[in-house]
Amino acid sequence: MKKLKKGDSHVEKMRFTQENVNIFAEISGDSNPIHLNAEYAAQTPFGKPIVHGFFAGAVFSKVFGTQWPGEGTIYMFQDMAFKAPVFVEHDYYAKFEVLEVDEVKKRGVIQCVLEDANGKIAIIGQAKLMHTERF
């Protein structure tokens, strides 16, 4: 298994559906109509429903735990700044870059970005991960 080093990167294309947003609302208990009600959302600055920020940011966890670095990842820290709305049925790209590696502690700091197909950043932040084989 290849060790990750500073500058390594990964990209994951994704799309959110309204059905998935509805399920997240049910699971999380966040039934804010900005996410679920098109008529309500039409009256907001966004003009249509938006994806829950923490649901959109969950792509970082999905990628870390299943693909990059993958199985065995321990998620230790995440910060996120929500810069723009995320809409259903639009293409997004989750982009990751290794900023730091501590080979002794087997940890890495990863920049995490979710951007739309035009490159507009919706979420940006950093994560700290531990992985005994990849760092």
> Is 43 a member of any domain?
yes
Residue 4: inside a domain: no
Q: Is 42 helix (H, G, I), strand (E, B) or coil?
A: helix
Give the count of domains, the chain.
1
Domain assignment present for residue 2? The answer is no
CATH code: domain of residue 21: 3.10.129.10
Asked whether residue 21 is domain-assigned, the answer is yes
Q: CA 52 to CA 29: how far, in whole Å?
A: 11
Model pLDDT for residues 83-127, shown as the tens digit of each residue = 999 999 999 999 999 999 999 999 999 999 999 999 999 999 999
**Number of neighbouring beta carbons within 10 Å of residue 94:** 22
| CA neighbor of 114 nearest in space, from 57, 50, 54, 49 | 57
Which conformational region is residue 131 in: left (phi greater than 0), alpha (psi within -120 to 50 degrees), or beta?
Answer: beta
- The pTM score is 0.93
Question: In this model, does residue 1 exceed pLDDT 90?
Answer: no
